[in-house]
Amino acid sequence: MPRVYLTLEQKLFERIEEDANKNNITMNLLMQNIFERIYMGGLNYSDIIEKIGLDTVGFDYTAALSELIKETNEREDGEFTLVMLESFSKLCISTVEKGYLQPATLRARLGKLYNSAVRKDANKDDKDKVLLGVERARDKNGDLKFVSRTAVYVKNSKKLKEDEAHENQ
């Protein structure tokens, strides 16, 4: 049976634990029951947000990732880290002020989502990519590049255009 591993903020963990204890079931079964009722009932993330409202959800990772993708596609070619994207830097500050997450947790989760999108794009045709011409930057030895343990990306839309021209010939 497939498994999903979650890392939860302490307050959320305590809230789920409290609910599970009140219902005399394990946290795992409580969450499985909730997911089954939602997804097997035909709902999806957009439906849930529509029904309960976005302000009840601590943080909308899909909206944040969409904004990072938009900013990346609009930026000039060259190497960059996520902190160089305006929404990433501002988001960390504004969400902490609202009390949703710790900055390190937010950056880590959003960074993993972004990195996952870059990896998925590597296996797609150019027309299906969401991050146009973006890949992980590599050092002189071909190893993935980091700056202070932060992933470095490189955008090269010229290479993307050259690849498209080569395919069309």
Alpha-carbon Rg for the chain in angstroms: 20
Q: What are the tens digits of pLDDT across the range 37-85? A: 888 888 887 787 777 665 555 677 778 888 999 999 999 999 999 999 9
H/E stretch holding 36 reads helix 27-39
- Classify residue 68 as exposed, middle or buried by CB count within 10 Å of its CB (0-12, 13-18, 19+): buried
Pairing of strands 150-151, 153-155: unpaired
Q: Is residue 68 within 8 Å of residue 114, measured between CB atoms? A: yes
Q: What are the tens digits of pLDDT across the range 80-119? A: 999 999 988 876 554 444 555 556 677 788 898 899 999 9
Per-residue DSSP letter, 6 = -
